[in-house]
Amino acid sequence: MDMIFQGITQAFWLLVHGDPQVLRIAWLSLLVSGAATLLSLCIGIPVGSVLGLNRFPGRRFLISLTNTGMGLPPVVVGLVVSIFLWRNGPLGILHMLYTPSAMVLAQFIISFPIVVGFTMAATQQLDPKLRLQILSLGASRVQMVWLLLREARLPLLAAVMAGFGAVISEVGASMMVGGNINGLTRVMTTAIVGENSKGDFPLAIALSVILLALVYLVNLILTIVQQQSKST
């Protein structure tokens, strides 16, 4: 009981004084997860739009793949990415293992299907006749897709939040491909696991508080967005 209380007090001081180690770890977390989410959006939104707006052979298969991908266990992703990046693995030549880039790659694989799935749902909930209406107003195909995505902007924001929320709180993949190297690949989740096993609770608790606050913020925005899009 005493230890917990002590841990919380120390964690509080670390946060209030802006401990450089805490800040560095939190910053790297944001950087890695932000980059992974951005990458997923750049590729996932176009892919999701194609799946949501078009009918073509193999579409159902791709949708089932996406749905499976939305529940990918991070440790499995971590394992597969590690195998690929090992020195004698197929991508070993890139020397990426245990670097932030490897973590971005792994987190991208986790958030990509989530962004695709949310984008697909967002575009599918639009009235199919809206496409014809936009085309009839003289839009090119590119202009049409742009207008449709703008129309689905609220549910698309949910894709951003869900993608980011999934990777910021993930630990398995980051641990396996990043290695929790202090000052290089240590992010909040891996630090919490590491410090906890060492018995250094204050740092773990401080990081947990930041992480919780971040996840809460993401979910708060997500909820507001969803409620807003429901009422329209």
Partner 1 sequence: MKSRQASLPYALEAIDLSVVLGGRPVLEVPSLRIPDKEVLVIIGPNGSGKTTLLLSLALLLKPTSGEVFYNGQPANTTSAIFSFRRRFAVVFQEPLLLNTTAWDNVTLGLRLHGIRKEEIKSRARKWLERFGIASLAKRQVKTLSGGEAKRTSLARAFVLQPDVLFLDEPFNGLDSPTRQALTEDFENVLRETKVTTVMVTHDINEALALAHRVVVLLNGHIRQVGSPEEVFSTPADEEIASFVDAGNIMYGSVVLQSGGLASINIGKQQIEAISELEVGTEVTVLLRHHDITISLPSSEAFTSSARNRLPGRISKVLPIGAQMRVTIDCGFPLVALVTRHSWVDMGLSTGQQVVATFKASSIQVIPRLGKFS
Closest to partner 1 by CB, 151 or 200: 151
- Decide: is 125 part of the binding site for partner 1 (CB under 8 A): no
| Nearest of 177, 185, 14 to residue 100 by alpha carbon | 185
Among 54, 88, 140, 197, binds partner 1 (CB under 8 A): 140
Which segment (77-85, 96-104, 135-143, 191-199) binds partner 1 by CB under 8 A?
A: 135-143
Q: Which residue has the tokens 């020195």?
A: 87
Exposure pattern of 153-190 as b/e (b: 16+ CB <10 Å)?
A: ebbbbbbbbbbbbbbbbbbbbbbbbbbbeeeebbbbbb
- Decide: is 212 part of the binding site for partner 1 (CB under 8 A): no
- Shortest Å, Cβ 200 to partner 1: 51
Which segment (83-91, 100-108, 145-153, 169-177) binds partner 1 by CB under 8 A?
A: 145-153
| Nearest of 199, 210, 168, 216 to residue 22 by alpha carbon | 210
Among 147, 193, 215, 221, binds partner 1 (CB under 8 A): 147
Q: Which residue has the tokens 């197929």?
A: 90
- Decide: is 135 part of the binding site for partner 1 (CB under 8 A): yes
Closest to partner 1 by CB, 119 or 189: 119
Chain centroid offset of residue 108 CA: 7
Report the sign of the C-alpha dihedral through residues 183, 189, 192, 195, in that order: negative
Which segment (3-11, 84-92, 113-121, 125-133) binds partner 1 by CB under 8 A?
A: 125-133
Tokens of 156: 């698309």
Residues that bind partner 1 (CB under 8 A): 127, 129-130, 132-133, 135-140, 143, 147, 150-151, 232
